[in-house]
């Protein structure tokens, strides 16, 4: 798998650009990923989403269901797609450094 | 890249049209198709797939419609290393003008492998194999030309219906218009996954169910009628006189014994209250028997493939309902179902599985639908009743 | 950014004039010959439909060939069926004959109507899917070459609908087909402890298993899972949610055969297909073992069923014990259900045949 | 200490001579009149059996009365049937007539053969069981008084077999009866925290619940359990293993009615009875609501079924939707199964009657 | 004690013989029966049982055969305060000499309430109501007189069989001898509970199943035949000539359409391979049709009442087996089953539930019985196969 | 329910003689119960059984299945009935001070 430089450090990513070394994720990595996902510069709502995803994942080891995401962040799906044109799964989860979603989100 | 495909070559022989010939045809003009041929030959040799798991790619603003796919040997097959597919939504009934079809071919010649499925088994046009960088331009060109993507992921999937009133005398509902109307209404649900899992809607014009709606749609709409089927006795007589065995092939095969045959007068009598509208007599005596005129649909829910709890067939939710534009009642019901499912469903739990887990009774209560015996084959045998 | 959410073209723009005019007015139809339908309208109009077999997986040039014919005979329109066949609709018998001549020139069969074996509903297989335990297109080709005549004539007792799915996700209505060929694994997943943490959600992976075979890795330092192999029945649902649990295996994978399903409500209600062969090896390019069994079943059915009796109706009438006897397919312990509703399949009567 | 493990008397010592002689040699039988069977042997011998209704719950003097008759007409032998009737076996029609006259004098009915309603298989009820949600003997008496003529004649389309069980333990073959009356609770158990520790095994109690409604008491100091009432469907299995969880309740308890079961393999395989009335109140001494429903069902069946068609066969033919229509029994959400195999009862077809 | 029983008195009216009359009859001589009447009247008033849970009493050396029972109002009903029942095992077929019956009556007059059930629904003589102190002497007297107790608790229960060869022309096996022989063989298993739960055996001589063995026995033995049923054409003709509708009432009702009727010659032909031995034609034409002569039994397993996992019907384990004394093959099978069940079963888990939990396949393997299609109605529909 | 004196102390018992105050059980109580159950004097095997039952019960809160009892004590069912003519449930469990068995044992 490819290695790329994100946030100044070298990180392994898969073909879809999801990072393969979850421990290396940080704010800067996120911002560089956001560039790829047309979600840069990241505003408050971007971070709200990304942080929520990340916290949820760290707590439960899974990505939250969309319904939960919408309810908890107060951002509706339309807005989420505006913030992350790739959508919650391809866009926001990638930026949040989560494993590539297979089901929910 | 493979020049020698001894295994696949075997599949050019024989009378049935050969997909291998088709790939070779595309491969002549297109490198990705050439690599596809090589990958397929390798799979035949190794007896294993050479596609990697998953892939999450897409087009701007959509969460669905593209299936990401990467080859596990990109070094050998660089031109098919990324080989994503588009699910392009079809016009209801799979009718096309050649103009529209040619347009798709041209677009796909430009951006993709030149290989397609007409159609995928949900009903989409499958444009098979484009590299990541072509996804967005290809999509933009598709929409410019009036086409849009279908569903994938935990979204509403491409809706389909039988040929219906366009070419069938038995359509009790306008399946094509239902597909068109619902597809427009639910564009957001199709393109932006949001639920615990996929959701499918299919509509057949009569109980023959030519799109297998009862076997593979969470929400199944099947046309039927409430009054009595129509028998043209003169035409019946005609059948009998032409040697058709009305008694043996129709009357005796009626599942409820609702028909009676008078061999002397060559008349066919129906005990209307016993007819369960199975279509058999109509199917076999097309010129003599027709559905009734008080038409509408039976709504059934829940069918799906085996993952996880085993396969389901759809079962009756609403025995009879009028189906007329703007279809508000059905749309409201759908939204209510989605809401309940979304609120209660676990990840990857299809509607039927959720209903089974929570109890059909609970579902009926939530939907405000009164229980009727038509919903079941038979009442419970166990005494484990909640009061 | 282009337009979004426009939906597919309106079907009304895609209909030939004769259909627009007679929309909803069809009165009856007949099948003058295999592959040709004649629909007559209340208006007196009539149309001829020529149904043509397609491999489904086609090149754009194939589609262009079809367009050429449609332009010539069908007012520039055509349609596809729910089983991937192509339908050319014309307003005269003569034009229909023209279509037939042209498609035959292209090597395409006309048929699939009435009591025939229509095109096989199938899936991606090794052509495009990561889940595939077998190929789909190759199986279809091999089977249809053998059953070709059943496509072009209508001599079977009733409809025979075949489906192929390359794994038990069963894309298609395969679980309700007269004959279903399904790719199956026979080896438990091999957990890749390296990849799993980056690629999978552990709880989702554990929850995905219908038999509860997946547990957390006993060593809490290893963020991974283990599989209790005795509980695994190779459904690959774990693999679907977790790429780090592959099951595919050249020897373990192969094909199972199910029979007796139906979808239509005509006569008997819809039925599930049921397993008659638990496993046959993947033997590309032509899967001879699979083709033989399918052919045998079709022939026994053709010889024994009554007119208008679907495969499942026939078997229900004669009994499964007789089916196994007639087809000479060995009965094994795998045939006996042991999943959730297994008990409902046990014979709770002394009624059976020897 | 007396003898143990001697087993019951050898049946061979209990047979009348004519039966000993013709054991295994019977050739055919006929039913000259309701309640009387005539069996003819290969040896040319013949016997007449007079079948007599019994309340089952009897005094020893009742048994002595029977003995008197048997001594007089039956060589000092008699038998009971699997449905609690008494059978007097004699070697001539004249003696059979004698038996009939005598039993009639005792007020006992002759009948229960062929297409009749035979005696009701039943259980203890309030006469002896701690589990009872209703009485058994009283229900039986009330129902049989009303259906008396069906016992003494054979005018029904086929056998109608009734069973009564005073709780859902269903002692008897009640789950496969043409008509079954079952005592049911409708209130969750009330846990007696005082008694439970001395009288119950907590783990057994928890495990006993089919729906997992019983949990350990949240306070670890309280050695007891709690019941999640929303999950309880009043099966009383917890009570069976734990006396400290009574459910009986004068208002909550009552009777449910199931129909359409059968046991014999004749024509259709055995079938389970299915719920048609979820609840009727306990209204002793005569349970008029129950008697009315039973009578109504029998009458509708008698009027509509074909000859030799058992209740369940009839309903299967006409459909349950029609059954509810004809009997005018309201259909409720309780009729819809929601237990383990519920899904198998849902109507997966568009075929139904209005 | 109750002198007024207005509610129960209602049940003395009406044509069906009255159990209330019977209790009153016993009450005249016996105080316990008098109290029983009072308790029953109280239950009718209160609409609730007045018997306390459980009770564990017995006789020396046995773990079963006595059901302990105490009244919840001993102060009101001192003579029925302890009111235990004996389950007395019956002679096979429920045949009695009046001598034996009178003996039981005498014993019960001495030690018990004088009320009985002829019989309990498992098949025992139920001697209803004795105080604790009478249990042992009553039991001793019973055995002295040749009677013994039946099963209760987690034991083998009283075995029963239909009247069989004693009075039925269709008995394919000797049910009475089976009951007798197995009952002697398994005395220990009947009297001393040892298993996870109860176990029942029942035998019917033919598929009419007059003891409902298929519905309420963990081990079900049903007589059948392997060759062809016997038709006496002269007798058939007789039926037809006497106006019996052979076609409508027999031929058309054959479940497998195995019979053919020639109206002209009045002959009945059987397609032997299609006959599933349902008995219907035999039942309705007793003088003309008889079972075959190569007789034996089908062994089925698993039936039971609803507790816990729902009711079960027995299903086929061995399609055909010869059943002849000393029945060793069957006895070995039973022991094998008990062993496996005992080793693997949970408390209160009946055989069928265990098989369901472990898989029928596992059970077959353990028993060394090869799978055959006769065991099932239909093969699996789900693809969840263990290899 | 009745109070009786067992092993010198007053203990509540039910109609069947099972003690209702499990905490009061001791060796002496057991021996007095054994008298009622024709299992007195208690020998080594009596105690083996009673102790096994009691230990099992204290550990698992249930009485052991018969099969377990036989396997673990090495005493077959026949012997158990000789030791406790009331059998394992009515006899041995009572002496061991367990709740009245409803199922196993
Ligand atoms: C392309 C298509 C097969 C085809 O060649 O026709 C297809 C292909 C896949 N299906 Fe499907 N399914 C396709 C129609 C179906 C159908 C038929 C239908 O929709 O009528 C079914 C059965 C009906 C149903 O939904 O239950 C179907 C049931 C599944 C399932 C099992 C779902 C279940 O609840 O049991 C899965 C597994 C999953 O969702 O993870 C699945 C998953 C998949 C995935 C996405 C593989 C995966 O595990 O993620 C396949 C992608 C293959 C690829 O790489 O191209 N596919 N899938 C069909 C969609 C084409 C289209 O849009 O027109
Ligand atoms: C074109 C198509 C609908 C579409 O929108 O594409 C179609 C068209 C017709 N179907 Fe169909 N059916 C079509 C798929 C189906 C399916 C779905 C499937 O095969 O997956 C079914 C359910 C099959 C099943 O039960 O498994 C289906 C079950 C029927 C039946 C009921 C057959 C039966 O007895 O079970 C009829 C009635 C008949 O032919 O007697 C019927 C009848 C018809 C009629 C006669 C309706 C009419 O009056 O026009 C059409 C021509 C039938 C023929 O082929 O002889 N159609 N029909 C589909 C053609 C598929 C193909 O290319 O082969
Ligand atoms: C005496 C008894 C056997 C015994 O060992 O005690 C018995 C005796 C006979 N049965 Fe039975 N059956 C007896 C309980 C049963 C039961 C069990 C039950 O009722 O719980 C069944 C199964 C019922 C069910 O399916 O729910 C039973 C289902 C039959 C059948 C099948 C009826 C059907 O069509 O479903 C026949 C055949 C027939 O009569 O056509 C039959 C036939 C017979 C014959 C004719 C057999 C013979 O040739 O002697 C006997 C006289 C029948 C009659 O009453 O007209 N016997 N028979 C039982 C009498 C019970 C009673 O007092 O009413
Ligand atoms: C006396 C009798 C009813 C009658 O009046 O005829 C009876 C009475 C009791 N049965 Fe029963 N059963 C009686 C035959 C049956 C039958 C019928 C049969 O054996 O053919 C069944 C259904 C078949 C079966 O075994 O499944 C039956 C299924 C039950 C069950 C549910 C078992 C299950 O697995 O679902 C229970 C509950 C239990 O075991 O805890 C039960 C429990 C009981 C208990 C012991 C109550 C309890 O919860 O402990 C009842 C004692 C009543 C009393 O105080 O006298 N009884 N019980 C029957 C025994 C008489 C005899 O020995 O002849
Ligand atoms: S489902 Fe009915 S209406 Fe639709 S095409 Fe088939 S036969 Fe015609
Ligand atoms: S539609 Fe079906 S049920 Fe109705 S009369 Fe015709 S064959 Fe019978
Ligand atoms: S059936 Fe399985 S392998 Fe085939 S396309 Fe569907 S998911 Fe992929
Ligand atoms: S393949 Fe299926 S059964 Fe096996 S571990 Fe994976 S999810 Fe479980
Ligand atoms: S059915 Fe229930 S209440 Fe009646 S005797 Fe059996 S266990 Fe007791
Ligand atoms: S009555 Fe049944 S469901 Fe309710 S708590 Fe007791 S065992 Fe559970
Ligand atoms: S089961 Fe058969 S053999 Fe036994 S009595 Fe009934 S009819 Fe006769
Ligand atoms: S026994 Fe039953 S299956 Fe056999 S021929 Fe007679 S009616 Fe038909």
- E125-184 pLDDT per residue, tens: 999 999 999 999 999 999 999 999 999 999 999 999 999 999 999 999 999 999 999 999
Residue E329 CB burial class (10 angstroms; 0-12, 13-18, ≥19): middle
Is C168 touching ligand 8 by the criterion CB < 6 Å? no
Which CATH entry fits the domain spanning E230-290: 1.20.1260.10, 3.40.140.10, 3.30.70.20, 3.30.460.10? 3.30.70.20
Q: What is the rounded average pLDDT for all residues in chain B?
A: 97
Q: What does each C-alpha distance from C181 to B386, C228, C321, D193 come to in angstroms?
A: 42, 28, 21, 59
Which ligand has the nearest atom to the CA of E255?
12
Nearest CA, atom 6, ligand 5:
B210
What are the tens digits of pLDDT across the range C300-317? 999 999 999 999 999 999
- For chain E, the C-alpha Rg in angstroms (whole number) is 25
Of B68, B295, B354, B87, nearest to B172 (Cα)? B295
Nearest CA, atom 39, ligand 2:
C114
Longest dimension (CA), chain B: 78
CA of B120 to the centre of ligand 7 (A): 11
- Per-residue pLDDT averaged across A47-55, rounded? 96
Predicted local confidence at residue D281, as pLDDT: 98
> How is chain E split into domains, by residue range?
6-144, 160-225+295-367, 230-290
What are the tens digits of pLDDT across the range B142-180? 999 999 999 999 999 999 999 999 999 999 999 999 999
What are the tens digits of pLDDT across the range D124-178? 999 999 999 999 999 999 999 999 999 999 999 999 999 999 999 999 878 999 9
CA of E178 to the centre of ligand 7 (A): 56
What are the tens digits of pLDDT across the range D298-337? 999 999 999 999 999 999 999 999 999 999 999 999 999 9
What are the tens digits of pLDDT across the range B289-316? 999 999 999 999 999 999 989 999 999 9
- Per-residue pLDDT averaged across A80-97, rounded? 95
- Per-residue pLDDT averaged across D64-75, rounded? 98
CA distance E306 to chain B (A): 7
Residue E242 CB burial class (10 angstroms; 0-12, 13-18, ≥19): exposed
Nearest to B279 among C121, C253, C265 (CB): C265
C-beta atoms of E63 and F101 within 8 A: no
CA distance D267 to chain C (A): 9
Query: Which band of pLDDT confidence, cut at 50, 70 and 90, is reported for residue E1?
Result: very low
Q: Which residue of C has its CA nearest to B303?
A: C173
Q: Is the pLDDT of residue A84 over 90?
A: yes
Q: Which residue of D has its CA nearest to B378?
A: D345
What are the tens digits of pLDDT across the range E95-138? 999 999 999 999 999 999 999 999 999 999 999 999 999 999 99
- List, chain by chain if needed, residues with CB within 6 Å of any ligand 3 atom: D 29, 31, 37, 81-83, 85, 112-114, 118-119, 121, 158-159, 161, 173, 262-264, 266, 310; E 162-163, 167-170, 208-210, 212, 283
CB < 8 Å to C240, chain A: 102
Predicted local confidence at residue B1, as pLDDT: 45
Is E291 touching ligand 11 by the criterion CB < 6 Å? no
CA distance B151 to chain D (A): 26
CB < 8 Å to C204, chain A: 62, 102-104
Q: Which residue of E has its CA nearest to B383?
A: E306
Predicted local confidence at residue F2, as pLDDT: 86
Query: Which band of pLDDT confidence, cut at 50, 70 and 90, is reported for residue A103?
Result: low
- Work out how many CB contacts closer than 8 A connect A with B: 63
Pocket-testing residue among E227, E254, E270, ligand 12, by greatest number of atoms within 8 A of Cβ: E254
Query: Which band of pLDDT confidence, cut at 50, 70 and 90, is reported for residue C219?
Result: very high
- Per-residue pLDDT averaged across B69-83, rounded? 97
Q: Is the pLDDT of residue B280 over 80?
A: yes
How much of chain A exceeds pLDDT 90, in percent?
A: 91
- Per-residue pLDDT averaged across B72-101, rounded? 97
C-beta atoms of E381 and C275 within 8 A: yes
Active site residue F93: no
Provide the CATH topology of domain E160-225+295-367.
Sulfite Reductase Hemoprotein; domain 1 (3.30.413)
Query: Which band of pLDDT confidence, cut at 50, 70 and 90, is reported for residue D1?
Result: low
CA distance B108 to chain A (A): 22
Strand pairing report for B160-161 and B201-204? parallel
CA distance B275 to chain C (A): 11
D284 at E interface, C-beta within 8 A? yes
CB < 8 Å to B382, chain E: 306, 310-311
The three state secondary structure string of chain B is CCCCCHHHHHHHCCCCCCHHHHHHHHHHHCHHHHHHHHHHHHHHHHCCCCECCCCCCCCCCCCCCEECCEECCCCCCHHHCECEEEEECCCHHHEEEHHHHHHHHHHHHHHCCCEEEECCCCCCEEEEEECHHHHHHHHHHHHHCCCCECCCCCCECCCEECCHHHCCCCCCCCHHHHHHHHHHHCHHHHHCCCCCCCECEEEECCCCCCCCHHHHCCEEEEEEECCCCEECHHHHHHHHHCCCCHHHHCHHHCCCCCEEEECCCCEEEECHHHCCCCCHHHHHCCCCEECCCCEEEEEEECCECCCCCCCECCEEEEEEECCCCCCHHHHHHHHHHHHHHHHHCCCCCCHHHHHHHHCHHHHHHHHCCCCCHHHECCCCCCCCCCC
CA of B129 to the centre of ligand 3 (A): 70
Predicted local confidence at residue C1, as pLDDT: 56
C-beta atoms of B91 and C61 within 8 A: no
Q: What is the rounded average pLDDT for all residues in chain A?
A: 93
CB < 8 Å to E62, chain F: 87
Q: What's the predicted TM-score (pTM) here?
A: 0.97
- Per-residue pLDDT averaged across A20-42, rounded? 94
C-beta atoms of B256 and D273 within 8 A: no
Predicted local confidence at residue A96, as pLDDT: 96
Spatial distance between the Cα atoms of B282 and B304, rounded to a whole number of angstroms: 29
Spatial distance between the Cα atoms of E170 and E172, rounded to a whole number of angstroms: 6
Q: What does each C-alpha distance from B50 to B43, B72, B197, C249 come to in angstroms?
A: 6, 5, 26, 12
Spatial distance between the Cα atoms of D64 and D70, rounded to a whole number of angstroms: 10
C-beta atoms of E63 and F90 within 8 A: yes
Q: Is the dihedral of CA C58, C61, C63, C65 positive or negative?
A: negative
CB < 8 Å to E58, chain F: 86-87, 90
Question: Exposure pattern of B224-242 as b/e (b: 16+ CB <10 Å)?
Answer: bbbebbebeeebbbebbee
* Fold agreement between B6-144 and B230-290: yes
Q: What is the rounded average pLDDT for all residues in chain E?
A: 97
Nearest CA, atom 3, ligand 7:
C132
The conformational region for residue B179 under phi > 0 = left, psi -120 to 50 = alpha, else beta, is: alpha
Q: Which residue of C has its CA nearest to D270?
A: C349
Pocket-testing residue among C213, C248, C252, ligand 8, by greatest number of atoms within 8 A of Cβ: C213
Q: Is the pLDDT of residue E380 over 50?
A: yes
Provide the CATH topology of domain E6-144.
Alpha-Beta Plaits (3.30.70)
Q: Is the pLDDT of residue B41 over 60?
A: yes
- Per-residue pLDDT averaged across B216-225, rounded? 98
- List, chain by chain if needed, residues with CB within 6 Å of any ligand 4 atom: D 123-124, 128-129, 131, 169-172, 240; E 67, 69, 85, 87, 117, 119-124, 126, 150, 158, 198, 200, 216, 304-307, 350
What are the tens digits of pLDDT across the range E44-77? 999 999 999 988 999 999 999 999 999 999 999 9
Predicted local confidence at residue F1, as pLDDT: 64
Is E246 touching ligand 12 by the criterion CB < 6 Å? no
Predicted local confidence at residue E147, as pLDDT: 98
F35 DSSP β-pair partners:
none
- List, chain by chain if needed, residues with CB within 6 Å of any ligand 10 atom: D 188-189, 208-209, 211, 213-214, 227, 232-238, 247
Q: Is the pLDDT of residue C195 over 70?
A: yes
Q: Is the pLDDT of residue F5 over 50?
A: yes
- Per-residue pLDDT averaged across B119-140, rounded? 97
What's the distance, CA C334 to chain centroid? 22
CA distance D323 to chain B (A): 9
Q: Chains D vs C: touching, with 3+ CB pairs under 8 Å?
A: yes
Q: What does each C-alpha distance from E142 to D59, E108, E131, E137, F38 come to in angstroms?
A: 18, 9, 16, 9, 22
| Catalytic positions of A, written as ranges | 104
* Probe site for chain B from E252, E307, E384, E385 (most B CB atoms < 10 A): E384
C-beta atoms of D170 and E311 within 8 A: yes
Predicted local confidence at residue F104, as pLDDT: 52
Spatial distance between the Cα atoms of E30 and E34, rounded to a whole number of angstroms: 6
């Amino acid at each position: 798998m490819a290695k790329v430089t994100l946030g100044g450090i070298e990180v392994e990513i898969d073909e879809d650009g999801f990072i393969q070394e979850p421990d290396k994720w940080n704010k800067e990595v996120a911002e560089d990923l956001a560039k790829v996902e047309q979600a840069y510069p990241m505003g408050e709502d971007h971070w709200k989403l990304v942080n929520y995803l990340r916290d949820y994942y760290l707590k439960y080891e899974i990505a939250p269901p969309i319904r939960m995401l919408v309810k908890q962040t107060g951002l509706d799906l339309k807005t989420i797609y505006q913030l992350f044109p790739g959508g919650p799964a391809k866009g926001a989860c990638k930026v949040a450094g989560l494993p590539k979603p297979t089901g929910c989100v | 890249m493979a020049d020698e495909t001894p295994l696949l070559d075997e599949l050019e022989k024989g009378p049935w049209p050969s997909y291998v010939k088709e790939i070779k045809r595309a491969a002549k003009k297109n490198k990705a198709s050439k690599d596809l041929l090589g990958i397929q030959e390798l799979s035949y040799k190794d007896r294993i797939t050479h596609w990697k798991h998953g892939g999450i790619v897409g087009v701007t603003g959509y969460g669905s419609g593209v299936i990401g796919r990467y080859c596990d040997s990109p070094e050998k097959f660089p031109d098919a290393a990324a080989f994503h597919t588009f699910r392009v939504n079809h016009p209801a009934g799979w009718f096309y003008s050649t103009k529209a079809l040619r347009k798709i071919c041209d677009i796909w010649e430009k951006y993709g492998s030149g290989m397609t499925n007409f159609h995928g088994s949900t009903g989409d046009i499958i444009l098979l194999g484009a590299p990541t960088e072509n996804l967005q331009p290809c999509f933009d060109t598709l929409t410019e030309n009036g086409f849009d993507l279908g569903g994938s992921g935990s979204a509403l999937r491409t809706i389909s219906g039988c040929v219906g009133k366009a070419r069938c005398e038995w359509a009790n509902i306008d399946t094509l218009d239902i597909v068109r109307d619902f597809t427009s209404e639910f564009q957001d649900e199709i393109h932006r996954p949001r639920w615990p899992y996929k959701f499918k809607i299919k509509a057949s014009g009569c109980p023959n169910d030519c799109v297998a709606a009862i076997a593979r749609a969470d929400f199944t709409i099947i046309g039927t009628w409430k009054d009595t089927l129509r028998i043209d006795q003169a035409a019946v007589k005609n059948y009998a006189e032409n040697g058709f065995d009305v008694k043996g092939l129709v009357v005796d095969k009626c599942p409820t014994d609702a028909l009676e045959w008078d061999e002397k007068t060559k008349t066919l009598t129906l005990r209307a209250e016993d007819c369960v509208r199975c279509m058999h007599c109509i199917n076999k005596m097309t010129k003599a028997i027709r559905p009734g005129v008080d038409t509408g649909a039976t709504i059934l829910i829940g069918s799906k493939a085996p993952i996880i709890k085993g396969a389901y067939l759809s079962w009756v939710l609403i025995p009879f309902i009028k189906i007329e534009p703007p279809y508000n009642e059905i749309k409201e019901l759908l939204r209510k179902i989605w809401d309940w499912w979304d609120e209660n469903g676990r990840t990857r739990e299809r509607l039927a599985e959720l209903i089974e887990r929570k109890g059909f009774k609970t579902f009926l209560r939530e939907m405000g639908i009164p229980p009727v015996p038509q919903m079941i084959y038979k009442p419970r045998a166990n005494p484990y009743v909640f009061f | 950014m282009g337009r979004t959410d426009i939906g597919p073209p309106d079907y009304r723009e895609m209909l030939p004039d004769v259909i627009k005019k007679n929309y909803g007015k069809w009165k009856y139809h007949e099948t003058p010959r295999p592959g040709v339908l004649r629909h007559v309208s209340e208006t007196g109009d009539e149309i001829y439909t020529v149904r043509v077999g397609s491999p489904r997986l086609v090149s754009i040039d194939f589609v262009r060939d079809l367009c050429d014919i449609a332009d010539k005979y069908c007012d520039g329109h055509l349609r596809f069926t729910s089983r991937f066949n192509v339908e050319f609709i014309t307003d005269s018998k003569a034009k229909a004959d023209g279509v037939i001549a042209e498609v035959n020139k292209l090597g395409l069969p006309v048929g699939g109507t009435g009591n025939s074996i229509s095109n096989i509903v199938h899936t991606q297989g090794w052509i495009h899917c990561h889940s595939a335990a077998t190929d789909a297109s190759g199986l279809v080709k091999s089977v249809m070459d053998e059953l070709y005549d059943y496509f072009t004539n209508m001599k079977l007792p009733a409809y025979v609908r075949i489906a192929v799915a390359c794994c038990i996700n069963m894309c298609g209505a395969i679980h309700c087909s007269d004959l279903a060929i399904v790719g199956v694994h026979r080896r438990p997943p091999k957990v890749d402890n390296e990849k799993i943490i980056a690629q999978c959600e552990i709880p989702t992976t554990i929850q995905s298993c219908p038999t509860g075979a997946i547990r957390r890795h006993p060593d809490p330092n290893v963020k991974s899972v283990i599989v209790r192999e005795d509980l695994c029945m190779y459904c690959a649902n774990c693999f679907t949610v977790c790429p780090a649990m592959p099951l595919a295996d050249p020897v373990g994978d192969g094909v199972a055969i199910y029979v007796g399903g139906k979808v239509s409500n005509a006569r008997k209600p819809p039925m599930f297909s049921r397993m008659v062969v638990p496993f046959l090896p993947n033997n590309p390019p032509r899967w001879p073992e699979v083709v033989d069994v399918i052919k045998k079943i079709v022939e026994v059915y053709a010889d024994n069923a009554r007119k208008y009796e679907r495969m499942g109706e026939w078997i229900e009438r004669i009994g499964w014990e007789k089916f196994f006897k007639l087809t000479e397919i060995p009965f094994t312990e795998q045939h006996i259900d042991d999943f959730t509703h297994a008990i409902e399949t046990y014979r709770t009567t002394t009624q059976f045949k020897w």
